[in-house]
Amino acid sequence: MSVQRLLLVAYQCGPGMGSVSQIGWEWYSRLAQQYRVTLVTHVRNRQAIAAAGGAVGDSEVIYIDTEWFAGPLYRLAQRLFPRSEHSVFLIASLDYFVFDAAAWRLLGRRQEQGERWDILHRVTPVSLATPTWLGRLGIPTVIGPLNSGLKDPPGFSAIMRQESTWLVNLREFGRWFDGVIGSSRHATRLLVATQATLAMVPPRYRKRCEFMLENGVELDQFEPTPWPAAPGPQQPLEVLFVGRLVPVKALSLLIDAVAQVKAAGQAVRLTVVGDGSMRAEWERHAQTLALGESVRFVGSQPLTEVAGFMRRCHVFCLPSVRESGGAVLLEAMASARPVIAIRFGGPAELVDDSVGALVAPGNPQQVTDDIAKLLLQLLLHPAEWAERGQAGRRKVEAHYSWNAKVEAAGRLYRAILNERTPA
């Protein structure tokens, strides 16, 4: 049975508005080319959607306005946690519950007026701690892909304290609320990105779960290109980091590793793309180590520029000590660049020795030492690492492109409708 009308709910949805908003936009902009879509999203996304050309195809966009609550909440969170973007996000995201209740009431009224949809798919937020009332509408409901449930790594307490991670316990409220309103109970399918997420789902509902990564890659945007000239005395080893400059990204560990490589007499240059509360401190750290031109901060860049930095590097390194996803790793792999990350959370499920390397999540000094050893190994065996980059591209093409994800969603929609249609 084919899908005629799709109800897509994306609290965060807009190009260039952050990683989760980009996820919502990718789902909407692609599904609206294949189905008759009604998108329900927050009013704060209106400007970005309009700038991208407005509603895609013949889709309808419904905007839910909760700024009367969201605006003051966000400003309060910024005052309370000026150094922790993660904490600000957690508090500000409580607005989602107001959005969800408003969407449920509005869509219920439209059903009473005779409107019908074949499938409801809620794509953002991507946390299981953000349950929804929408499953009570009686429409076959898909929730996800979801990525949550990751614990703090035990050896990095000093870093995690800077992130006010005690606030993460607020997510337990979301799990309790899930039981109250029956989000998992009313879902037809729950798409989970990781084993940690699956473990958060109540055992009686795990049979409804299917694995799907929440992130994807636009293959045309991150294209494979030849490796730069092999690193050596005349060509520095080009290392790239892309991400928010917040404590959990642990960029100082990578800066220390670069210092070790330089101390070993090797030419190396780290380019840091991104901005955040830790930028000034990490710039001072690099200066204290007298790294000079071996570390350069270029600030936040549009995706087109990020793709260019990917092309110019030899290796991409993400030293984040708590990374639930890892979209930037997929972008580096799509660019045919080998990747280095920590064996914890999302990176541990994306990266293996065929596409790069993982370091154990022991403690800060051990991570620094292990990254430095890997960079020195790359200098000794550049051809082997270049091949890992090519293997990364092949892996992304096979499993993580947005086209592949949308095709998989279409198969899932049809399977759900066929299950509900009498033989």
Secondary structure of 248-307 as H, E, C letters: HHCHHHHHHHHHHHHHCCCCEEEEEECCCCCHHHHHHHHHHCCCHHHEEEEECCCHHHHH
Cis preceding-peptide flag for 338 (omega within 30 of 0): no
Cα 77 from Cα 125, distance rounded (Å): 19
* Total Cβ atoms within 10 A of residue 362: 16
Render pLDDT for 338-353 as a digit per residue (tens, 0 to 9).
999 999 988 999 999 9
Cα 275 from Cα 286, distance rounded (Å): 15
Domain extents in the chain: 5-216+401-420, 237-398
The angle, 0 to 180 degrees and rounded to 10, between the axes of the packed helices 279-288 and 251-263 is: 20
- The residue written with tokens 């994800």 in the block is 405
pLDDT of residue 91: 65
Q: Which helix (H) or strand (E) holds 359?
A: strand 356-359
Q: How many helices (H) and strands (E) does the chain have?
A: 17, 13
pLDDT of residue 86: 62
**Do 5-216+401-420 and 237-398 fold alike per CATH?**
yes
CATH of the domain spanning 5-216+401-420: 3.40.50.2000
DSSP string, 123-176: EES--TTS--SGGGGSS-EEEEEE---PPPPTT-HHHHHTTTGGGGGGHHHHHH
Amino acid identity for residue 121 in this structure = H
Q: What CATH class has 237-398? A: alpha beta
The tens-digit pLDDT sequence of the chain (423 residues) is 777 899 999 999 999 877 899 999 999 999 999 999 999 999 999 999 999 999 999 999 999 999 887 677 777 767 776 666 666 666 667 789 999 999 999 999 999 999 999 999 999 999 888 999 999 999 999 999 998 877 777 876 666 666 555 555 555 566 667 777 889 899 999 999 988 889 889 899 999 999 999 989 989 999 999 999 999 888 999 999 999 999 989 999 999 999 999 999 999 999 999 999 899 999 999 999 999 999 999 999 988 999 999 999 999 999 999 888 888 999 999 999 999 999 998 899 999 999 999 999 999 999 999 999 999 999 999 999 999 999 999 999 988 999 989 999 999 999 999 987 765
Asked whether the whole model's pTM tops 0.75, one would answer yes
Sign of CA dihedral 272, 274, 278, 283: positive
pLDDT of residue 67: 84
315-318, strands of its sheet edge to edge: 295-299, 268-273, 237-242, 315-318, 339-342, 356-359
Amino acid identity for residue 311 in this structure = R
Cα 250 from Cα 374, distance rounded (Å): 17
The angle, 0 to 180 degrees and rounded to 10, between the axes of the packed helices 364-380 and 382-399 is: 110
Render pLDDT for 189-203 as a digit per residue (tens, 0 to 9).
999 998 888 988 989
pLDDT of residue 250: 94
238, 271 Cβ separation under 8 angstroms: yes
Q: Which helix (H) or strand (E) holds 103?
A: helix 95-112
CA within 13 Å, CB half, 287 = 7
Q: Which of 400, 403, 402, 219 is nearest to 310 (CA)?
A: 219
